Amino acid sequence: MRTVKVCDTTMRDCEHSTEFNMSVREKTEIAKQLERLGVDIIEVGADCDAAADILNALETTMFSIACYPDMIDSECIKSHLSGDKKGRINFLFSRKKSVDPKEIESSVKAVKSNGFKVQLTANALNMSSQEYRNAFIEAAESNGVDSICVYDDIGYSNPFEFFEIVSSITSMTDLPVSVKSKNDLGMAVSNVLAGVKAGAVTVECSVNGLGRRAGNAALEEVVMAIKARRDFYERDTAINTKLLFRTGKMVSTVVGLPLLGGKAIIGDKALLNFDLEIPETAKFSVIKPEDVGIIRNSLVLGKRTTESVFEERVEELGYLLSPKQLDKAYREFLKLADKKPVDDRDIEAMLAPFEAESESNFILENFVINSGSMIPSTATVILNVAGESITNVATGYGPVDAAFKAIDAISGIDVSLEDFSLHSVTSGEDALGDAVLKISYNDKILTGRGVSTDIVEASIRAYINAINKAAVVASE
């Protein structure tokens, strides 16, 4: 059976939105995870600050940079073209311009002479005239590009229209066709799949469907639809679907956007209770939680669990930790196991801050809060800063606000809180609270995460986590 290539555009699509800001370290970690997942191409935007790190971290996956042809002279593109490793430049064709094959000739030549591949993407090709389509394909063919992409960048197509246009394009050229669609009308997944049915050989999609506005086709939905409906699409992908859940969780952690229960494929509830009787005539494969890496029977660990058993479990859950991180995680596990039985969801919550972790300038030593409905809230916080304990006390709108002000006074870093959310990980009074917040510092949005059975402590840990990232930015 023929294979559909999967191009992940999570980083490209998130780069245009301050909401989904990622640090260099986070982008590199995500790129490594996407490579483990088995995506064929990882695409970033031309302004990606982690491009060099990602390129170096990849072993088998093609690295792609999306940009307009007139950006070929930018330092970012130039520096990659001069590297040893090979990749791809994806030139975007703005709909504002008429297509002039000569216009892109020199850009394409420069890229290809460096051994890079070239793709041409036409924005809104689905809504353009036949004349425009002809000119676009001619421009691609006459310049010797390696593939073309049909992109509904407005998200207003429907699968019937999209099928028609992709079919007409695959019949006009032998160039491999890739497809991409925005989700403004809730049809991105259907559009991309209609493109596959019409002969496209590559799908472009993002983890959890992230991106500007209503986002893009969700990678996990596209991949699992192809797998479940092999009878219809007659295609495979190279994706290791058992890593989909883990990958979705990881990206969710980094951008601070939780996966809600009903999120198709990887939401907590999406694959549960699939107790319907399937018609005998059905040729499709039913998706089970374990197919996407959701572990149904959570193992419960206790305070006598050894480090090697803990390590095994962490690996089964899809986490790759360094020996130092593992050691730290095990110590935190023991502290938690002293209070309650620890299940997989607790472990995942505990490990999440490791992903968000940066070099720690500020370490929480101790805090005391005092608050109520009729008294001002006060917080005393002691942070360890380069080996020295520094104490500060502050008042605020509530104990958490007071604690944040005390931390600000100690750190001396001028940040502002943009967003805050907290979720319980399991049920019950001893559930872990998982706090995620965003701060802005020097025009950058930084995410912080903290976990504790005490929601005030979780909030404080998340804030310190974010402040530590701001300190890294400040030192750059």
CB of 451 to its own copies, least distance (A): 12
Within residues 230-249, the interface with its own copies by CB under 8 A covers 232
Whether 44 contacts 50, CB under 8 Å: yes
Q: Is there binding between residue 396 and its own copies (CB under 8 A)? A: yes
Within residues 323-362, the interface with its own copies by CB under 8 A covers 339
Q: Is there binding between residue 431 and its own copies (CB under 8 A)? A: yes
Q: Is there binding between residue 413 and its own copies (CB under 8 A)? A: no
Q: Which of 52, 56, 135, 156 binds its own copies (CB under 8 A)?
A: 156
Q: Is there binding between residue 96 and its own copies (CB under 8 A)? A: yes
The 13-42 site mask, x for binding its own copies (CB under 8 A), equals ----x-x-----------------------
337 membership: H or E segment, kind and range: helix 323-337
Whether 332 contacts 342, CB under 8 Å: no
DSSP 3-state assignment of 382? strand
**Cβ proximity to its own copies, 44 vs 210, nearer residue:** 210
Stretch that binds its own copies, among 50-58, 85-93, 294-302, 449-457 (CB under 8 A): 449-457
Q: What angle do CA 41, 45, 46 make, to 5 degrees?
A: 120
Whether 326 contacts 311, CB under 8 Å: yes
Q: Is there binding between residue 409 and its own copies (CB under 8 A)? A: no
CB of 229 to its own copies, least distance (A): 7
Q: Is there binding between residue 416 and its own copies (CB under 8 A)? A: yes
CA dihedral 390→324→266→334, nearest 10 degrees, is -70
Q: Is there binding between residue 363 and its own copies (CB under 8 A)? A: no
* Structural tokens at position 4: 């559909």
Q: Distances from the Cα of 163 to the Cαs of 141, 160, 190, 191, 317, in angstroms?
A: 22, 5, 10, 8, 38
CB of 86 to its own copies, least distance (A): 32
Within residues 192-231, the interface with its own copies by CB under 8 A covers 193-194, 197, 209-215, 218, 221-222, 224-225, 228-229
Q: Is there binding between residue 319 and its own copies (CB under 8 A)? A: no
Q: For 446, phi and psi rounded to 5 degrees?
A: -120, 140
Nearest to 341 by CA among 299, 310, 311, 308: 299
Within residues 157-176, the interface with its own copies by CB under 8 A covers 158-161, 163
Stretch that binds its own copies, among 49-57, 85-93, 168-176, 260-268 (CB under 8 A): 260-268
CB of 65 to its own copies, least distance (A): 21
Q: Distances from the Cα of 331 to the Cαs of 325, 334, 456, in angstroms?
A: 10, 5, 21
Q: Is there binding between residue 144 and its own copies (CB under 8 A)? A: no
Q: Which of 82, 98, 113, 129 binds its own copies (CB under 8 A)?
A: 129
The residue type found at 136 is F
Q: Which residues contact 159 (CB under 8 A, 6 or more apart)?
A: 187, 190, 191, 193, 194
Q: How far apart are CA 396 and CA 210, in angstroms?
A: 35
